[in-house]
A and B are shown apart, each in its own frame.
Chain A
Amino acid sequence: GAVVSQHPSRVICKSGTSVKIECRSLDFQATTMFWYRQFPKQSLMLMATSNEGSKATYEQGVEKDKFLINHASLTLSTLTVTSAHPEDSSFYICSARDWREAGGIQDTQYFGPGTRLTVL
């Protein structure tokens, strides 16, 4: 099946520092990746859609200067939380869109294992 990796799995940083999270599709190419945020015992909140070779599309209320997204290749998207503060502490999950037309249209998002960010 399609595999998506995410690194790091856990990060603790001081307030004011920047943190970069990588999302990789390991066995397929993903022109579109997504970044989500999940608070404890809540559902996933879409932050932005990352398209390879173009600017990310951010959801309403998400600060694009705060959460920098780069999708430089068909298998890698990065999310950088700039000048992190304690309120940015959360579980960040990426997904990669696996779209193909073999045997009918297959269009599924596969998720990475998530990154637990704690800002002190």
Chain B
Amino acid sequence: AQKVTQAQTEISVVEKEDVTLDCVYETRDTTYYLFWYKQPPSGELVFLIRRNSFDEQNEISGRYSWNFQKSTSSFNFTITASQVVDSAVYFCALSEAPFTGGGNKLTFGTGTQLKVEL
């Protein structure tokens, strides 16, 4: 069975601080996908990134960066120089790869509420 753990329930930072959101996953699959989604107060889930299990390169997109460590089954997300608009709930998720019969079902973590204050 797949499992995603986001141990940080809520994080509060002051604007311009860097913040890292942790994500640890469990799966027996050798091929899988990892995702991060942002859910602002409006409720819509916004896709941030998809990472294939065979690609351990870290990725940077503007102020966002992701650190994928297969050895520790972690896929952490860092926001540099946080802004008030970053305030949201962030979900880490895991799915099986295509053609494995899992149909791309996502297993979500419980989410981390990030509050960025002035």
Contacts and interface: CB of A to CB of B under 8 A. Distances in A.
Interface stretch (A11-19, A41-49, A71-79): A41-49
Nearest to A113: B44
29 contacts: A2-B47, A34-B105, A42-B110, A43-B109, A43-B110, A43-B111, A44-B91, A44-B108, A46-B105, A49-B103, A57-B103, A95-B45, A97-B104, A105-B98, A106-B50, A107-B95, A107-B97, A107-B98, A107-B104, A108-B35, A109-B106, A110-B47, A111-B37, A111-B47, A113-B42, A113-B43, A114-B43, A114-B44, A116-B43
B33 interface: yes
A25 interface: no
Nearest to B55: A104
A84 interface: no
Contact of A91 (B43, B47, B97, B108): B43
Contacts of B35: 108-109
Contacts of A91: 43
A6 B57 CA distance: 35
A93 B45 contact: yes
A105 B50 CA distance: 11
